[in-house]
Chains A and B, each alone.
With several copies, the nearest count.
Chain A
Amino acid sequence: MSIIQRGPDEQVQVLTDEGELRPDADAPELSDERLVEMYRTMKLARHFDERAVSLQRQGRMGTYPPMSGQEGAQVASAFALAEQDWIFPSYREHAAIYTRGWSLDQTLLYWMGHEGGNSPPPDTNVFTVTVPIATQIPHATGAAWAAKLRDTSEVMLCYFGDGATSEGDFHEGLNFAGVFDVPAVFFCNNNQWAISVPRERQTAASTLAQKATAYGFDGVQVDGMDPLAVYRVTKAAIEKARDPEEGETRPTMIEAVQYRFGAHTTADDPSVYRDEDEVQRWKEKDPIPRLETYLRGEGVVDDDAVEAIEADVREEVADAIETAEGVQRPAPEELFAHVYAEMPQRLEQQLAYLQRLRDRHGDDALLES
C-alpha cells in the first residue's frame, strides 16, 4: 500500500524526534548532495527569518510573517517536485518559493511594500503570494485542471494553513479537484494556530487530513517537522497526481503537522494566547537540528561543513538585504501600470493629475502625510 493510503490519522514519520532513522522507515531516496542542499536551504530560511524580523523591528521593512519551525515542511515539500511542477503559496512560504527559484531579495521587496516583489521571476514555476486565506486553492485546482486538459505532466502543489481549512474556498477548490480528478496536491501547513485561534477551534474533526474524505480522495497526515517524511509523502502524492495507477485518484491532501515557533506576524504577540511551555515542547521537534543529527550520523556533514554552510547562508541573506534595500521606491506611475493591459482614458487622466500634483508640490510634500 502506498504511503498515502494509510489511515488519515496515522502520522507518517521517517526520523525520530531526535533525528534518528526510525526502525520501520526506509532511508531517504535522496543523494547526499541533495540532502545537504535541503539542509542548507532550511538553515538559510531560518537565518533569513531572523534577519527579516529584525529588519521589521528596525523599521526597515513592513509587517512580516515569520516561518521558523516550518522550514522543514516548506523546503522538503518543494524538493519533492519535478522541474515542471508549480507551487501556489500563501504569505508564509518564503522558503518554499525560494526553493523554487524566487530570490530572497524579491521576497524582502514584497514585504517592503513593492508590488514588484510579487512578480515571480520568469523561470520559477511559482504563482503569486496570496494574502486572502484559502483563495489560492481554487486557482491551483484550475491550473491543474488546465494542465490536465493540455495533457502536460505538470503537477500543482498548493500550500495553505490549518485556518484555511475552514474557508469555503478550501471546500470548493478541493471538491472541484476531486470531481475533475486534477493533478493537484493540497499541502496544509498545520502549524496549530491561525493567529490566536488554536487548531481545535477551527474544526471538530480530529484530523485535517480526514477532510479529504469529503472529496473522494486521499488524505494523509505527516510529521511536518520531519523533512524526510515530508519529502517522501509529498513525492508519493506528486507522483500519484502525475501518473495515477488504475483506480487511484490524482489529488491528495497532505496535513503536515508542525508548529510556528514565532509570532503570526511581526504585528502579533503570541504570549497573549499561548504559553511558552507549548513552544518549548514543539521546539524539541525542530526540523533543522533533527535533519542535522541525521546527516551527521550518516557522515554526510560534519562541524566544518555546518560552519561553512552557516557562513555561506549569512552572506547570501546579507546580500539579499543589500540588494532589496538598494531598490528605489517604485515610480508613482507604477500605481497605474498593469491595472489593465491598456490604460483606459480615465486612468490616463488620473495619472496626469498625479503628475501635476507632483510638479506643483514635490514628492516630499505628497509623501509626508
Chain B
Amino acid sequence: MSTDTASQRLTLVQAVRDGLYGELERDDDVLVMGEDVAENGGVFRATQGLHEAFGDDRVIDTPLSESGIVGSAIGMAAYGLRPVPEIQFMGFIPPAFDQLTSHAARLRNRSRGRYTCPMVVRAPYGGGIRAPELHSESKEMWFVHEPGLKVVVPSTPHDAKGLLASAIRDPDPVVFLEPKLIYRAFRESVPDERYTVPLGEAAVRREGADVTLITWGAMTRPAIEAAEAVADEVDVEVLDLRTLSPLDFETVRTSFEKTGRALVVQEAPRTGGLGSEIVATLQEESLLYQEAPIEQVAGFDTPFPLYALEDYYLPESDRIEDGIRAVATYEI
C-alpha cells in the first residue's frame, strides 16, 4: 500500500464503491446495472452515489430478473461495453446460472475469439450477518468448476478496489464475490487514485515455517487470528488466494513444499469445495514433501442455516486453531 499518495481509510464495501467509481470514470464503456443499484445505491450501499455521478445510462436499475440482467449484460459485453451487473445476493445467482455457464463462460470459445464477454458479475457472498434464508451462501465452486469464468474474492479493502479494477479491465467474464461479513468489519488505507491488484496471484498474509494455511475471503481474518493465537506453538503461513479461478497453485505449492503441512479453511460446504481441489493437487504434485494429512476446516454439508445457528456453521478461530494444531502435531 502506497503511503505517499492521498488515501482514505475505507471499509471493504466503500472500497468496492470507490473501485466502481474509478472504473466508471476511466472508461465510458463501463456501466453498472442490477436491482436497486441506482437511486438506492445498492442494498449494501456498494453503488451509493454512482447514479448521481454518472447518470441513467451508466448506473441502471433493472427489473427483478437475474437471467435478464446477466443475459442482457452478455449482449452488451459482446457488443463492446463492459457491464458490471450486480446480483443482490449470491443465493440469487441461480436464476442466472444458465446465462453464466452456458454463455458468459463460452462465448469466446464458441466463437473462436470473435465475440468476448468482458463482464464482471458482482455479488455479496457468505454468511454471518444474521440474514434470512439464501442470503448467506458460499458457492464459489459453481464457477470455479466452469471453464471460461474467472472467480475473485477479495479479503481486504485495498484488494477489493484493486482486484475489482483488474476484473473490470479483464477481457474475460469474472464472478466477483464480496464477503459481506467483512463489508464493514474494518477499515484500511485505500489510495484515492486508481490502481489494480493483478488477478491470479495469491497473497501471503503471514509468513511462517511450520504449517501452510490456505484460505480466502471472510475466513482470512479468523485464520490470521488463529495463526497469531497459536504463534507460540506453531509458526503458520497464511495464504489468501484472492483469485479462486484461475488459481495460483504456484504460491500454494511453494509454501507447502516449505512447511510440509497444510490446512484449508473455507466457508463453503466441505464436499466438492475448493479445499478438496487444493488438497488433491498438493498431494499429487508434492507428496514427497507431505508430513501430515492435509486437513480442512470447512462449512458442513448442510444448507446454510437461518441465523440462530449460523455461528455453529461458520468456521471460527477455535475451530481453526484446532485444525492447525492437528496438522502441526501429526506424526507419521
Q: List 17 A-B contacts (CB under 8 A).
A: A62-B307, A111-B132, A113-B309, A113-B310, A115-B109, A120-B114, A166-B64, A169-B99, A172-B67, A273-B39, A335-B302, A338-B111, A350-B300, A357-B322, A360-B318, A366-B311, A369-B311
B17 contact set on A, CB distance < 8 A: none
Query: Closest 5 CB pairs between A and B?
Result: A142-B75, A138-B71, A142-B72, A172-B68, A344-B246
Instruction: Decide if B95 touches A330 in the complex (CB within 8 Å).
Output: no
Instruction: Decide if A366 touches B318 in the complex (CB within 8 Å).
Output: yes
Binding site for A on B (CB under 8 A): 31, 35-36, 38-41, 43, 57, 61-68, 70-81, 83, 91-92, 94-95, 98-99, 102-103, 107-116, 128, 130-135, 147-148, 150, 170-172, 200, 222, 246-247, 249-250, 270-271, 300-303, 305-314, 316-319, 322
Instruction: Decide if B68 touches A173 in the complex (CB within 8 Å).
Output: yes
Instruction: Decide if B80 touches A146 in the complex (CB within 8 Å).
Output: yes
One of B40, B91, B95 near A168 (C-beta < 8 A): B95
One of B75, B76, B310, B312 near A354 (C-beta < 8 A): B312
Binding site for B on A (CB under 8 A): 62-63, 91, 110-120, 122, 127-128, 131-135, 137-147, 149, 156, 163-164, 166-169, 172-173, 175-176, 179, 194-197, 201-203, 267-268, 272-273, 329-330, 332, 334-341, 344-347, 350, 354, 357, 360-361, 365-369
Main secondary structure on A side of the interface with B:
helix
Name the residue on B nearest A196 (C-beta): B40
- Complex-state Cα separation, A344 to B302, whole angstroms: 11
Instruction: Decide if A196 touches B36 in the complex (CB within 8 Å).
Output: yes
Instruction: Decide if B64 touches A339 in the complex (CB within 8 Å).
Output: no
Known: A329-B309, A339-B108. A135 touches B103 (CB 8 A): yes
Instruction: Decide if B309 touches A335 in the complex (CB within 8 Å).
Output: yes
Name the residue on B nearest A147 (C-beta): B79
A118 contact set on B, CB distance < 8 A: 110-112, 133, 306
Name the residue on B nearest A152 (C-beta): B79
- Complex-state Cα separation, A99 to B43, whole angstroms: 31
Name the residue on A nearest B303 (C-beta): A339
Instruction: Decide if B63 touches A176 in the complex (CB within 8 Å).
Output: yes
A201 contact set on B, CB distance < 8 A: 61-63
One of A63, A122, A197, A334 near B61 (C-beta < 8 A): A197
Distance of B145 from chain A, by nearest CB (Å) = 13
Instruction: Decide if A141 touches B75 in the complex (CB within 8 Å).
Output: yes
- Complex-state Cα separation, A357 to B316, whole angstroms: 11
